[in-house]
């Protein structure tokens, strides 16, 4: 027994860092000698704080009390709280803390799917015997080790599938563990506003309101045929989600032999290139890290997008030399994004790789100023990662990322 419930055949954890960007910025500044913990004052992470442009990417709990929300323009946030402290995003910092969390979790099990830079799914089914089916204690052990050893807090959701685990982790925050088994859906999930259901955006929420669907329970009890007639495949999917139905597997490296990707669904609409660029950089770093860890090289890179109406589209490119280099992945992703984006609001953004190989056939480019071979590039990436992990992101920065930052600023001037 797990509490009042029988332990299901499969047990999945979803781990979500609380206010990840804000928490990691706070920790980094404290390490550098700051006497202010950003988590204790009204503060936000946002693009170009000097010009107060862009959108809020993360907020502190004190900032939330002023009504500041993720995804709103910085100008609007400043009007709500003129004294709010604004810090720019530092992706290298986030990648370092994210990797530290993943490494800690690998000490428990290799069955981990890195969902985004601040989220992951863990299939802990194989730990049933070791932890005697006491998955609550295991979740608290993971959560507390992350807090005590790494300095930031997470929420952990526990269920029998990924969807319900993710929904559970979004319950009361911060630093909490929640369960959401099938027996608990009616009590814990159905009373929530339908907008809280995973994959329900502003556009679909507005349509649900017109239909009289106010809560997740209302959606679960709606005739699925009616939903399919009105929304197509999305109608069936969202009805299944409302009823807690999801059989997707935790995508560990072993199950990703043919392709390797990372995507994230954002809680606000991405409407500008700079914000999209930050997400692409985050995703590219994660994909590159996973390729290097698996010893794989990608021959094809793709960008996948889904707009607020849940229309999906993508663009892919075959590259000359298979790669696991973050810079190459990021450059290609930006190029593909600029080509394919329709300037519509984005709710899901992803970077995917395919045609993976173990030992790529190398073709040197005579115009490559450094003429670094693939094996040397790998060593360079590993060296950069080690320096960042030990000394921080400001001591070494990829030149190509600096160039992209400059280009992006030109586009938003």
Identify the active-site residue in 25, 113, 119, 263. 119
Instruction: Clarify whether 119 is annotated catalytic.
Output: yes
Contacts by residues 50-53 (CB-CB < 8 Å, ≥ 24 positions apart): 52/78, 52/86, 53/412
Contact by Cβ (8 Å): 213, 192:
no
Contact between 164 and 190 under an 8 Å Cβ cutoff? The reply is no
- Residue of 285, 265, 252, 292 whose CA lies nearest to 105: 252
Start-end of H helices in 11-125:
20-31, 61-64, 74-80, 91-106
- Distance, in Å, from the CA atom of 160 to the CA atom of 120, rounded to the nearest integer, reads 15
Run of H or E including 333: helix 326-340
- Give the separation between CA 152 and CA 141, rounded to whole angstroms: 14
- 337 neighbors 280 (Cβ within 8 angstroms): yes
**Distance between CA atoms of residues 153 and 140, nearest Å:** 11
Q: Which residues are catalytic?
A: 119
């Amino acid at each position: 027994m797990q509490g009042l419930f029988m332990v299901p055949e499969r047990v999945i954890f979803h781990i979500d860092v609380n206010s990840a960007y804000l928490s990691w910025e706070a920790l980094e500044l404290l390490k550098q000698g700051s006497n202010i913990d950003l988590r204790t004052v009204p503060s936000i992470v946002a693009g170009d704080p000097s010009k107060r442009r862009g959108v809020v990417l993360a907020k502190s709990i004190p900032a939330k009390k002023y009504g500041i929300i993720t995804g709103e323009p910085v100008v609007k946030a400043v009007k709500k709280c003129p004294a709010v402290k604004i810090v720019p995003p530092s992706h290298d910092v986030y990648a370092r803390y994210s990797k530290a969390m993943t490494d800690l979790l690998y000490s428990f099990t290799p069955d981990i799917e890195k969902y985004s830079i601040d989220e992951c799914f863990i299939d802990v089914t194989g730990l049933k015997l070791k932890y005697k089916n006491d998955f609550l204690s295991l979740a608290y052990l993971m959560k507390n080790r992350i807090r005590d050893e790494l300095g930031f807090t997470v929420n952990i959701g526990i269920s029998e599938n990924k969807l319900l685990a993710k929904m559970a982790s979004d319950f009361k925050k911060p630093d909490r563990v929640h369960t959401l088994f099938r027996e608990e859906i009616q009590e814990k999930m159905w009373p929530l506003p339908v907008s809280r259901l995973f994959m329900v955006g502003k556009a679909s929420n507005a349509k649900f309101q017109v239909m009289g669907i106010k809560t997740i329970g209302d959606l679960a009890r709606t005739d699925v045929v009616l939903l399919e007639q009105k929304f197509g495949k999305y109608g069936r999917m969202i009805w299944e989600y409302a009823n807690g139905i999801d059989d997707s597997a935790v995508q560990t490296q072993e199950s990703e032999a043919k392709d390797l990707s990372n995507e994230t669904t954002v809680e606000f609409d991405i409407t500008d290139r700079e914000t999209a660029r930050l997400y692409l950089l985050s995703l590219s770093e994660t994909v590159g890290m996973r390729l290097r860890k698996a010893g794989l090289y990608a021959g094809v890179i793709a960008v996948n997008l889904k707009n607020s109406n849940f229309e999906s589209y993508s663009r892919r490119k075959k590259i000359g030399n298979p790669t696991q280099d973050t810079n190459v992945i990021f450059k290609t992703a930006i190029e593909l994004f600029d080509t394919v984006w329709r300037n519509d609001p984005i709710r899901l953004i992803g970077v995917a790789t395919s045609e993976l190989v173990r030992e790529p056939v190398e073709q040197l480019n005579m115009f490559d100023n450094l003429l670094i071979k693939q094996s040397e590039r790998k060593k360079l990436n590993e060296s950069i990662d080690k320096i960042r992990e030990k000394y921080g992101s400001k001591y070494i920065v990829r030149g190509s990322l600096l160039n992209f930052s400059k280009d992006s600023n030109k586009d938003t001037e």
